[in-house]
Homo-oligomer: A and B are copies of this chain.
Amino acid sequence: MSDTGTLDALVQALRRLPGVGVKSASRMAFHLLQNDREGAELLSRALHEASSRVQHCERCHTFTENRICDTCLDEGRDAARLCVVETPADQAALERTGAYKGYYYVLMGRLSPLDGIGPRDIGVQQLLQRATDGVVQEVILATNFTAEGEATAHVIGEALQRKGIGFTRLARGVPIGSELEYVDLGTIAHALADRR
Interface residues of A (CB under 8 A from B): 2-7, 9-10, 12-14, 16-19, 23-24, 26-34, 36-37, 39-51, 53-54, 63-66, 69-70, 87-89, 108-109, 181
Q: Are B3 and A70 in contact (CB under 8 A)?
A: yes
Tally of this chain's copies: 2
Asked if B109 and A50 make an inter-chain contact with CB atoms under 8 angstroms apart, the answer reads no
In the complex, the answer to whether B64 meets A3 with C-beta atoms within 8 Å is: yes
Asked if residues B26 and A89 are in contact (CB atoms below 8 Å), the reply is yes
Write out the residue numbers on chain B whose beta carbons fall within 8 Å of the beta carbon of A54. Answer: 4, 6-7, 33
**Residue pair B4, A64 in contact (C-beta under 8 Å):** yes
Chain B residue, CB-CB nearest to A39 = B16
Q: What is the bound-complex CA distance between A108 and B47, given in angstroms? A: 27
A49 touches B19 (CB 8 A): no
A19 / chain B contacts, CB cutoff of 8 Å = 24, 27-28
Q: A4-B63, A9-B46, A48-B44 are in contact. Are A27 and B31 (CB under 8 A)?
A: no
Closest to A62 in B: B4
The answer to whether A6 and B42 have CB atoms under 8 Å apart is no
Q: Do residues A32 and B47 form an inter-chain contact, with CB atoms below 8 A? A: yes
A6 & B65 in contact (Cβ 8 Å cutoff): yes
Known: A31-B18, A64-B4. A10 touches B49 (CB 8 A): yes
**Interchain CA distance A26-B19 in the complex, whole Å:** 13
Cβ-defined partner of A51 (8 Å) among B31, B37, B65 = B37
B6 near A53 with CB under 8 A, answer yes
A46 touches B10 (CB 8 A): yes
A39 to B43, alpha carbons, bound, how many Å?
A: 13
Contact at A47–B44, with CB atoms within 8 Å?
yes
Q: Is the CB of B3 within 8 A of A16?
A: no
- Residues on B with beta carbons closer than 8 Å to the beta carbon of A4: 54, 63-65, 69, 88
List the 3 closest A-B pairs by CB distance, nearest first. Answer: A16-B39, A44-B47, A13-B46
